[in-house]
Amino acid sequence: MRKIGTGGSFTRPFHCIQHDNYLIVSDKDDHCVKDDHCVKVFDREENFLYKFGKKGGGDGEFISPHCLSVNKVGHLLVCDTGNQRIQVFELNGKFVTKFGTKGNETGEFIIPVSTAVLNDGRIVVSDFRNHCIQVFE
């Protein structure tokens, strides 16, 4: 058994996934101690490789990133919970696109917390505050 994250590697790690040769972790700072709102990437030997994102509302910025998943073309989906949206990145951290806005209607979120990618490529998003899941083509 090994432990990753000694010496202040994380502020508040929320979710981690393994994809290809990477261990990918969402790190959030609810108490603004370090202002860490980012995604951190490690190799299979648990060596830190890079991080991307920072606190904010622009493309590639996060407020409280939650769960992660990888879609069928290998893009990373990040639940940007505080900004009420899902952001999509290449695995190197390059921003691709985003979807969702704040609200109660179809395609809108209040607290999107997790995603799942179905076998046919559709994306399911669970919205904690709207008490629903939504399926995107």
Give the C-alpha separation, 111 to 103, whole Å: 10
Mean pLDDT of 22-32: 81
- β-bridge partners, 52: 39
* Mean of the per-residue pLDDT values of the chain: 89
**Is residue 8 one of the residues assigned to a domain?**
no
Global pTM reads: 0.90
Q: Which pLDDT does position 6 carry in this prediction?
A: 59
pLDDT at 32 over 90: no
Q: Which pLDDT does position 3 carry in this prediction?
A: 67
Coil, helix or strand at residue 82: helix
**Is residue 32 one of the residues assigned to a domain?**
yes
Q: Which pLDDT does position 134 carry in this prediction?
A: 95
The CATH number assigned to the domain holding 115 equals 2.120.10.30
Mean pLDDT of 59-74: 95
Q: How many domains does the chain have?
A: 1
**Is residue 79 one of the residues assigned to a domain?**
yes
**Is residue 5 one of the residues assigned to a domain?**
no
Q: Label residue 31 by pLDDT band (50, 70, 90).
A: low
Maximum CA extent, the chain: 45
pLDDT tens digits, residue range 89-121? 999 999 999 999 999 999 999 999 999 999 999
**Residue 89 lies in domain:** 13-136
pLDDT tens digits, residue range 34-43? 567 999 999 8
